[in-house]
Each structure stands twice: as C-alpha cells, then as structure tokens.
Amino acid sequence: MNTAISSNWPAPAKLNLFLHITGQRADGYHELQTLFQFIDHCDYLDFQPTNNKQISLHSELSKVVAEKDNLILKAAKSLQEYSDYQGGAEIWLRKNLPMGGGLGGGSSDAATTLVALNKLWKLNLSADKLAQIGLQLGADVPVFINGFAAFAEGVGEQLINVKPAELYYLVIVPKVHVSTQAIFQDPNLPRNTPKLDINSLMQQNWSNDCQKLVTLKHPQVANALGWLVEYAPSRMTGTGACVFGEFKQQQTALDALAQLPSTMNGFVAKGLNQSPLMTRLSQN
C-alpha cells in the first residue's frame, strides 16, 4: 500500500556572489573559487513513496526534458541503486525557477530529491554521502545538500560554510538559454584568475569571470545588466543568463522592479544563508 504524500519540499535557487576560474584540470573540468548563497525563490517537490521500484515524475518539465537527462529522476535512481532500496516513488514538481539561468534549478531539484527520499525511504545516509552521490549528477548539487551559504573550491565540491550579508536581490531573467558547457568550452573564457585565500576574497569587490564572455555572446544579458547597474551594484550569476542587483532594503528592490521594462522579466528575493530545504527537513 502506498504511503501518504510528503509535500512542499523546497528546491531553492542560488546566486554565485562571485565566480573566479583559477585553472583547468587535465580531465577538462575547471577549478573554481565561488561563493554560493541561497535565495527564497524555489521550485517545490512532493513525494509519495511506493512499494514497487518504479520512479515516476509528474511535471510540465517531463514533457520537455528527456528522461535520461532529467536530474530529478537521475537523483532518485542513483539513491535507489546506491542503497539497494526495493521501493520507489511518485514525484511531483512545481517549476518556478528558469532553466539555463545560472540559478542552479536543476541541481537544486536533484539535491532536494536526494535529501527528501533519504528521509522518506528511511535510508539514514549522511549528508556527506548524499553529496558524493549528488556530485556525480552535477558540480552544484553538493552545495544544495550542504544547505548553507558556502565558499567553494575545486570544481565546486570543496565547501566552507560562510555568512555573507543576507541582502535583497532584484533578479532579472533574460529570455535566453545560456549553455554552461558552451561557456566553459569557449577559448576566450578567462582561466587564470589568481587563487586567493577566503578572507581576502570575502573582503574584495566581487566579480564573475564568465560575465564578459556571456554578455558579448548574448545581448539580452548585456541589456539586462546595463539596465540593472543603474539601480544597484549588479553582476551575473553562474554562467548566466540571470543577473542580480544588490539592495539593503526590500522596498528599494521592489521600487526598482516596478521600473523594469516590459520586455524584461524579474523578481525580488531575499538572500538566505540557510537553505529552506534544511528547515523542511526538520519537519515531518
């Protein structure tokens, strides 16, 4: 007999408050130094454990993303295989985060799937073990499992929890899909930013090494950044396309949002140093 549905598991977006590319390894992966912070803008997932091994996903996304590429299904099946769990799950996704926007939506969905099913299937795997499984799905997955704002090195998997200011952000979502793979393969991407210690990095002006290349390739991103920087210190997150401006007061961010041209989409969100997923995990 199927158990009850466990609902409203958040999969929050993240911002890269800075992103430096410090080198490229022999295997092609890039060495990074970056600072992740969550925002209170989330996808939401519901889960219903089942007695058979079938794992099913119900969402508009499942119509546009092939099953073999769907990170939610990949995450559930990876956890099932690792633990040799004999049951399965029905999963429902309510998608609010843009795809290909640099907000980490797919990785966050995968992390929430691992964390939720670990609890609902009563597997009792550690967060470190879940992060190891998640890293096989994507370099950003461990930070979402970790659940705290973090300074990251390596390919993004070496994490140190930090507490940057929890500001308000106006996030603009340009109508363009930026391929992370294409950006990291581009010969014009800077790959030699000097490595700095965490204290130096936390105190300097923050920047994103991918921003110049992406704005040259995608005028929509350049236009969004050009508009936003008039209102607040602004930059791109991840490999784009989303850009964000920093505001100390929510109302100032909302006032800027009200001026947003009708050709652009955006939202205001609050920075969070603890993921809403951690809060949900502590509940039944």
Distant-in-sequence, close-in-space partners of 94: CB < 8 Å, separation ≥ 6: 43, 44, 45, 59
Helices 105-120 and 71-83 cross at an angle (nearest 10°) of: 30
Residue found under tokens 């930070």: 143
Only one residue has tokens 């803008």, namely: 41
Token pair 């997932």: residue? 45
- In terms of Cα–Cα distance, which of 140, 167, 134 is closest to 152? 140
Whole-number Å distance between alpha carbons of 157 and 154 = 6
Q: Is position 40 annotated as part of the catalytic site? A: no
Closest by Cα among 19, 40, 35 to 250: 40
Residue 159 near residue 239, CB atoms below 8 Å:
no
What are the helix (H) ranges across the chain? 61-64, 71-83, 105-120, 127-135, 141-146, 180-185, 198-203, 211-217, 219-228, 250-258, 276-281
Of 43, 74, 109, 140, which one is the catalytic site residue?
140
Cα–Cα separations (whole angstroms), residue 14 to 18, 29, 49, 75: 12, 21, 28, 19
Q: Specify whether 212 is catalytic.
A: no
Closest alpha carbon to 220 in 236, 204, 207, 238: 236
C-alpha to C-alpha distance for 272 and 244, rounded to whole angstroms: 15
The residue from 14, 74, 109, 209 that is catalytic is 14
Q: Hey, what are 15's tokens?
A: 């911002």
Cite the active site residues.
Answer: 14, 140
